[in-house]
C-alpha cells in the first residue's frame, strides 16, 4: 500500500510513499517502549534542553518546512511560516515552564508527610489532522516528551511528506531514536496500535466520527485520551459592537487557513438592528482578500486540501440555498486547476440548513439574524459543538456575563479564537474532551501519583 501526496493548488501528484507494514509498526512500538525507558530517566531540565534545540531547528528549517506544508495541503505560504514559528514557541514554552510544572506538589490541606508526583505513562499514540501539519503535532508532542513519554505519530495520509519531515526535525534536534516516530499508515492499523499494551494513551484531533471510533477503542482498552473534534464556532455581534472592527476580525477568523480551522468562526450571530451594517463591512473585508497561488506570500486564501472536501462544502452551500439561505458573496468552486472555492457569505441562515446545523470546513460564512442578546446566546449554544466562541461588544462587563453562558472551551472578546501554548485548549459536547497546552496538556499524559510517608 502507498500514501499519495497531491498538490491541492494544481491537483497534481507530488510523491508516493510506501506505507509501513505490520512488521514495521511492531518494530516501531518496540523501539518506542525501549527509548521511553531511557528518556524518562532524564531530568526535566535535560529534556527541556532538547525542546530548546528543537525550537532552533524548526526556525532554521522554517522556509523549507513551510514550503512543504503549502505544497501538500495548500496553506498560504505566509501562514505556513507563521505555523512553524508558533511550533517553535510551543517548544520554548514547555522548555521554560515544564520543569516547574512537573515538580512535586503538596496540596492544600493534605497530610504533612504527603506529596503528589507527576510520572510519565509511557508510549502515547498521536493521531493528527492535515490542516496544521506542524503545530498540531508539536502541541501534542512537546508536552508528551517534556513529561518523559515517547510519542508515535499517525499523521493524516494526505501529508506524508510533512510526517517524515517532522521526524527528521526531531532527529536533527538530538532527540534519542525511538522517542518520536512517524508512522506512515492509513486508518486500518490504528485499532491494533491502540490495543497494544505498550501504547498507554491516545491523543486525537479530527472529526467527530474519528474521535468516537478512537475513543471507543481507547475506552475498551482502558486507556486515557485527549480528543479535539472540531467545531462550528459562533461569533456573536451585538448592537453595541464596533461593527467595522467586528467585520475585519470576523473576516480574518473565517478565512484563516482558507477556512479550514477548527476554531475559525463559522456562524455569525448578528442582532437584527445592526445586521445590514455588519454584512456590509463583513462582505467587503472578505471580498478584499486575495485568493490564488498559495506559494505567493501576498495570497490570503489558498485551495482546499482535497477535492472531496471541496465537493462536500459545495453540497452544504447548495442545500442551504435551496432551503432559503441567500448568497451575498461567492457561492461555488472556482474554475481552473486545483481545489479552490470562492469566499462565500450566506445570510438568513436558519435551522434545518447545513450552514446552520453542520461544520463548514472552508471559506463559507453563515450569518444568522437574531432579535437580541438572549436569542444570540441561545442560538450560539444550539449546536452539537463547543470548541470556541467570540463576542463583539463595547461593554466588558456584558462580555464577561455572556462568556459564562456560552458552552465552549474558549471565549474571546472582540477578537478571534486561537490557541496559546500557556492556555488550555479543547472543547465540550461533541467538540471532544480533555485539554491540550499549558499545565493541563502536560499533565494529561502523566501518572498523578500520591506518595505518603516518603
Q: How far is CA 246 from CA 253, 272, 285, 394, in A?
A: 10, 15, 10, 11
Contact 125, 154 (CB under 8 A): yes
228 is known as an active-site residue = yes
Q: Find, among 369, 355, 328, the residue nearest to 238 by Cα.
A: 369
Burial class (CB in 10 A: 0-12, 13-18, 19+), 48: buried
Cell 497494544 belongs to 196
Quote the CA–CA distance of 147 and 102 in Å, as a whole number: 7
Q: Which of 92, 228, 279, 359 is catalytic?
A: 228
Q: Find, among 172, 130, 177, the residue nearest to 155 by Cα.
A: 130
Q: Which of 72, 262, 264, 358 is catalytic?
A: 262
Q: How far is CA 72 from CA 16, 57, 110, 345, in A?
A: 12, 21, 52, 27
Quote the CA–CA distance of 28 and 326 in Å, as a whole number: 52
C-alpha neighbours within 13 Å on the C-beta side of residue 344: 30
Quote the CA–CA distance of 84 and 169 in Å, as a whole number: 12
262 is known as an active-site residue = yes
Mutual orientation of helices 243-255 and 275-288 as an angle, nearest 10°?
50
Q: Find, among 149, 27, 75, 35, the residue nearest to 443 by Cα.
A: 149
Catalytic machinery residues: 228, 262
Amino acid at each position: 500500500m502507498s500514501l499519495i501526496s497531491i498538490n491541492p493548488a494544481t491537483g497534481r501528484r507530488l510523491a508516493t510513499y510506501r506505507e509501513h507494514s505490520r512488521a514495521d509498526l511492531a518494530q516501531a512500538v518496540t523501539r518506542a517502549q525501549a527509548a521511553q525507558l531511557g528518556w524518562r530517566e532524564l531530568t526535566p531540565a535535560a529534556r527541556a534542553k532538547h525542546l530548546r534545540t528543537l525550537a532552533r531547528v524548526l526556525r532554521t528549517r522554517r522556509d523549507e518546512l513551510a514550503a512543504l506544508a503549502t505544497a501538500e495541503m495548500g496553506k498560504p505560504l505566509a501562514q505556513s511560516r507563521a505555523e512553524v514559528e508558533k511550533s517553535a514557541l510551543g517548544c520554548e514554552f514547555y522548555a521554560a515552564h515544564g520543569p516547574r510544572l512537573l515538580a512535586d506538589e503538596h496540596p492544600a490541606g493534605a497530610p504533612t508527610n504527603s506529596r503528589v508526583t507527576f510520572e510519565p505513562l509511557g508510549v502515547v499514540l498521536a493521531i493528527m489532522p492535515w490542516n496544521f501539519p506542524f503545530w498540531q503535532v508539536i502541541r501534542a508532542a512537546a508536552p508528551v516528551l517534556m513529561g518523559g513519554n515517547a510519542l508515535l505519530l499517525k499523521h493524516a495520509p494526505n501529508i506524508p511528506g510533512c510526517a517524515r519531515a517532522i521526524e527528521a526535525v526531531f532527529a536533527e534536534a538530538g532527540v534519542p531514536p525511538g522517542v518520536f516516530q512517524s508512522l506512515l499508515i492509513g486508518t486500518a492499523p490504528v485499532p491494533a496500535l491502540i490495543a497494544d499494551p505498550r501504547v498507554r494513551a491516545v491523543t486525537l484531533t479530527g472529526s467527530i466520527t474519528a474521535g468516537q471510533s478512537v475513543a471507543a477503542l481507547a475506552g475498551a482498552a482502558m486507556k486515557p485520551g485527549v480528543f479535539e473534534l472540531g467545531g462550528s464556532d459562533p461569533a456573536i455581534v451585538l448592537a453595541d459592537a464596533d461593527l467595522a472592527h467586528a467585520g475585519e476580525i470576523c473576516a480574518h477568523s473565517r478565512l484563516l487557513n482558507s477556512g479550514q480551522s477548527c476554531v475559525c468562526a463559522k456562524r455569525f450571530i448578528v442582532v437584527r438592528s445592526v445586521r445590514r451594517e455588519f454584512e456590509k463591512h463583513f462582505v467587503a473585508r472578505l471580498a478584499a482578500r486575495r485568493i490564488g497561488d498559495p506559494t505567493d506570500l501576498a495570497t490570503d486564501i489558498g485551495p482546499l486540501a482535497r477535492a472531496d472536501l471541496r465537493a462536500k462544502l459545495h453540497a452544504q452551500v447548495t442545500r442551504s440555498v435551496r432551503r432559503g439561505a441567500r448568497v451575498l458573496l461567492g457561492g461555488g468552486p472556482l474554475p481552473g486547476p486545483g481545489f479552490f472555492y470562492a469566499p462565500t457569505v450566506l445570510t438568513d441562515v436558519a435551522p434545518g440548513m447545513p450552514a446552520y446545523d453542520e461544520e463548514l470546513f472552508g471559506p463559507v460564512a453563515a450569518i444568522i439574524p437574531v432579535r437580541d442578546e438572549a436569542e444570540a446566546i441561545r442560538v450560539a449554544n444550539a449546536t452539537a459543538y463547543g470548541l470556541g466562541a467570540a463576542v463583539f461588544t463595547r461593554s466588558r462587563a456584558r462580555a464577561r456575563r455572556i462568556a459564562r453562558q456560552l458552552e465552549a472551551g474558549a471565549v474571546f472578546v472582540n477578537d478571534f479564537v486561537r490557541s496559546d501554548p500557556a492556555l488550555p485548549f479543547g472543547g465540550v459536547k461533541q467538540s471532544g474532551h480533555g485539554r491540550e497546552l499549558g499545565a493541563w496538556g502536560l499533565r494529561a499524559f502523566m501518572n498523578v501519583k500520591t506518595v505518603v510517608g516518603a
